[in-house]
Structure 1
Amino acid sequence: MTNELVWDRPEPPSRPSPTPLSRALIVRTAIELADAGGLDEVSLRKVAAALNAGPMRLYGYIETKDELLDLMVDEVYGEITPPDPAADWRTGLRHIAHEIRNATKRHEWLIDLIGGRPNRGPNSLAFMESTLATVGFESIDEVMSAVGAVMAYVYGAVRNEITEIRAERSTGLTEEQWQRASGPYIERMLATGRYPTLARFIYDGSHPDPAQVFDRGLDYVLEGIATRHSPGSKRGG
């Protein structure tokens, strides 16, 4: 194993074969497996089987599963459309937030692999560059704080959405059906009077759909950033 990052390591020379391989083909196949069955379906052995190739052939292109996961994440970042460079910072960050949510709805497994150390692939770096550039505050520390706040919200909100989707899949119950099944117990608990605020939420809340919940929370984050926005920044809010 080398110390080179996978993006610096050249692929093996092509050779005649009934099953031609490339790093791009391996990554696309891994993504298809993950989209269909989650990350448990991704291994070099399973990808090789899907490609009708021997597992050892894949090691010429990718040395570890971690490298494969990094490449998969970077491939999905390549699907994300950058914001309009002329957009103000709120519009730009809102666009980015929705692009991440949409990408994660297409590839549920993505939420399990983002939110920690940043990916170092070229698409990921381009995403980070366009995200930071859209904020345009004079202080790079303000830029990092604003972007960090939005990303923390987005990852958390989307993770909650995906968790609910997975719960529905594993239990066979929608959120509404699950709530109805536990309704008698919740009503008895609320009738004790010990949870007045929770009762207001359950009985009087509007209970918007996930997209509305996402947008409302994002509005709170962006408004919070706006209150701390430096008057000397390049773009107004």
Structure 2
Amino acid sequence: MLVWERPEPRNRPVPAPLSRDRIVRAAIRLADADGLDAVSLRKVATALDVRPMRLYGYIDSKEELLDLMVDAAYAEILPVGDDWREVLRSLAESVRHTAHEHEWLADLLGGRPQLGPHALASGERVMAALGELGVDAVMPVTAAVNAYVIGAVRREIAERRAERTTGMDEKRWQASLGPYLRRTIATGRFPALATVVRDAAHLDADDTFRIGLDFLLDGIGARVSK
């Protein structure tokens, strides 16, 4: 029986009351502070001031705990809108915002299907909005948007982590590698790259995400209108 359907143990009169919700919230606090490497059943038990074996009455493994953490994050992903385009944009922006609030989520998105109650509720909102596109379009469209969002979010999170690790923000990185790039472009071997570096608008992460999403949604709209 999956964790979503398995009942919790009955409450017992103990010094440290326990529940799946308390376990998950403790795990999320650890992950928010120090990443997924900081999450283990032993560390969560320590944070809750209970013995690790008590946790096994509520969850069977760390994998179940990770699934519960992802579903708790989905409680913050609430796509809204009056048509399919608004709902997909809301979904994308909500996933991105939640992943920036909980960086560890970027490492878990796109794995196994998320079947927890919050994930299913979020999916139901999206499926209902996409009904106007026709049932055969629902899954490919959703997959395309999810792939775009997950790829963009993982890149952004990777850049944030690299900045923390190296201490180099975008300006320092440009100052460090700029001379090499200028020398390379000056050889004339990369004219298309030179044009982009010299003439293209250099957008921040927010605008890059928004415009890329516009391209994707425009393409979806053009395809389904045929």
Q: TM-score range by the shorter chain?
A: over 0.9
Please report how far the alpha carbon of residue 103 of structure 1 lies from its aligned counterpart in structure 2 after TM superposition: 0.6
Please report how far the alpha carbon of residue 107 of structure 1 lies from its aligned counterpart in structure 2 after TM superposition: 0.5
User: How many Å separate the matches in 1 of 2:215 and 2:40?
Assistant: 40
Q: Do 1:83 and 1:134's aligned partners in 2 also have CA atoms closer than 8 Å? A: no
Q: Is residue 144 of structure 2 the alignment partner of residue 149 of structure 1?
A: yes
Aligned to 2:52: 55
Equivalent position SS for 1:60 = coil
TM-score (norm 1): 0.92
Q: Do 1:78 and 1:124's aligned partners in 2 also have CA atoms closer than 8 Å? A: yes
1:93-112 paired onto structure 2 within 5 Å: 93-112=88-107
Aligned to 2:157: 162
Aligned to 2:5: 8
The partner residue of 1:78 within 64, 75, 79 is 75
Aligned to 1:235: none
Aligned to 1:234: none
1:81-105 per-position Cα deviation (integer Å, ceiling 9, x unaligned): 2313xx1111111111100011101
User: RMSD of aligned C-alpha atoms?
Assistant: 1.2
User: How many Å separate the matches in 1 of 2:132 and 2:174?
Assistant: 45
Please report how far the alpha carbon of residue 138 of structure 1 lies from its aligned counterpart in structure 2 after TM superposition: 5.1
Q: Letter of the aligned partner of 2:13 in structure 1?
A: P
TM-score (norm 2): 0.96
Aligned to 2:213: 218
The partner residue of 2:64 within 67, 84, 92 is 67
Q: Do 1:137 and 1:143's aligned partners in 2 also have CA atoms closer than 8 Å? A: no
Q: Letter of the aligned partner of 2:58 in structure 1?
A: Y
User: How many Å separate the matches in 2 of 1:101 and 1:230?
Assistant: 28
User: How many Å separate the matches in 1 of 2:68 and 2:111?
Assistant: 16
More deviation in 199-208 or 166-175?
Answer: 199-208
Equivalent position SS for 2:224 = coil
Aligned to 1:194: 189
Please report how far the alpha carbon of residue 185 of structure 1 lies from its aligned counterpart in structure 2 after TM superposition: 1.1
Aligned residues between the structures? 226
Percent identity between matched residues is 56
Aligned to 2:25: 28
Aligned to 2:41: 44
1:96-139 per-position Cα deviation (integer Å, ceiling 9, x unaligned): 11000111010011111111331111111111111111122352
For structure 2, the residue ranges without an aligned partner over 5 or more in a row are none
Q: Which has the higher contact order (CA 8 A, sep 6+)?
A: 1
Please report how far the alpha carbon of residue 201 of structure 1 lies from its aligned counterpart in structure 2 after TM superposition: 2.0
Q: Do 1:6 and 1:62's aligned partners in 2 also have CA atoms closer than 8 Å? A: yes
User: How many Å separate the matches in 2 of 1:32 and 1:58?
Assistant: 17
Q: Letter of the aligned partner of 2:120 in structure 1?
A: L
1:18-46 per-position Cα deviation (integer Å, ceiling 9, x unaligned): 21111100000100100111000000000
Bigger share in helix: 2
